[in-house]
Structure 1
Amino acid sequence: MNKKKRIIPGFGISMGITISILSIVVLIPLSSLVIFSAKLSFSEFIYTVTRPRVLSGYFVSISTSFIASLINVFMGLALAWVLVRYDFKGKRFIDGIIELPFALPTAVAGISLTHLTTTNGWVGQIFYKLFGIKIAYTRIGITIALIFIGIPFVVRSVQPVLEKIDIKYEEAAFILGADSKTTFLKVIFPEILPAIISGFTLAFARSIGEYGSVVFIAGNTPYETEIAPLLIMSELQEFDYSAATSIALVMLAISVVILSVNALAQGIVSKRVNGKI
């Protein structure tokens, strides 16, 4: 049996380089978490990662990240829709500034957002005087910071898919009597749903581990606004590397679960869109 000749040779070398880079950049650093955590016994590990203060940190990080990512789905979809479907002055500028959270140092973002949202800040004083709502040093402030760093993931996931959707499908739906709402729900939404799930998941996973932009605006009050990454930094400052890596290992496991659910959900949605289910 003759093997099919590959059009592009060098698969073995390419795969070897890929695995090597993956091991050096990803697998080896992550395996160090397991090695350091192994210095603790199983009971010590469970005690370390289930202390009330640590559990509170998990809850603050996960809950604010989930809410921020959910908000980003709607905001990101609206931004992507405007950038794809309309032409206006300043479109290129807005399209470029969306990636600012990627380029801006997270500490700079955190300090800027904190100054804006304190009770003396431009935004914070409006909400405090009119509604009695404090933004900075609360979970609301954490959520706002996570919205800031997460929205590019949704926009950049949905935007290319919207650009590829042929307008003729929408025109056909209108000709057949469908209104705008039905056309969006039946024609457009199924096509962009995998991208929305991907953007939400990436923003969620990114937000859970965010430190720089959150630590300034959070206030870091134990059991209230203290996030899990801050607990890791606190353990490192106390030279308790085993505890720090144990908490980090749990955060890693949470991220892996999120990404696995993302892959599973995208697979199911894609099959349904393609009519395979």
Structure 2
Amino acid sequence: MVEGRTILVTGAAHGLGAEIARHLAKNGARLVLADIAEEEGRAIADECGARFISVDLADPASIRAVGRNLAEQHGVLHGLVNNGAIATGIGGIPFEEIDIDSWDRVMQVNVRGTWLMTRAVTPLLKASGSGRIVNVASDTALWGAPRLMSYVASKGALMAMTRSLARELGPNRVGVTAIAPGILTTESTGYVPEARHRLYAEGRAVPGAQGPGEITEIVTFLLGEGALTLTGQTLPVNNGFVFN
């Protein structure tokens, strides 16, 4: 499905991104991992036999450098997983109390960063003849999670961008999909209040906690050549907490 395909995963140092990288490596992908957390990112890259590139998704110059590096080292790219995002410390307050700097930071990284990373590598995806983009959104944007508006808005933007990109890149046979997981049990979600974890565990059609390993198989499929017919779609991969 992804054997021999060159794939870039952003936000690969922790949580879902790290698990996606591990699963893709097991399935024979040639991986490039990118993250702002260099030490942790390099450790995951070493584990996966992958290359690591440092990137700051809030810095356009840093993102352009990733595109240049990939062009020089690989020439083509078969897949991009836009997983890099920020969430820690931005939730739990009413929308009236979100400060402008925090709002702008979330939009810089989660929305603008995804757009710029996609733009930076699109020529390489087109060159592959079967490029695939998977945007990691969130089901919070499907059910309207309260007291989390900046994050919810950013992930809703990713879903809209997915549809628009699918239209623009379809003629080049580049498929663009989004996944919308709920809260996963990873080290990256330790800040989430226990009440929110319980809400998900009890409200899923398949009750209980959900780990990142339950998502990785779907991401791997979406990065393969056979997933083109799903382009433009957002898949709520949340064990039935919300239906799309």
TM-score by length of 2: 0.27
Higher strand share: 2
TM-score by length of 1: 0.25
Higher relative contact order (CA 8 A, sep 6+): 1
Higher helix share: 1
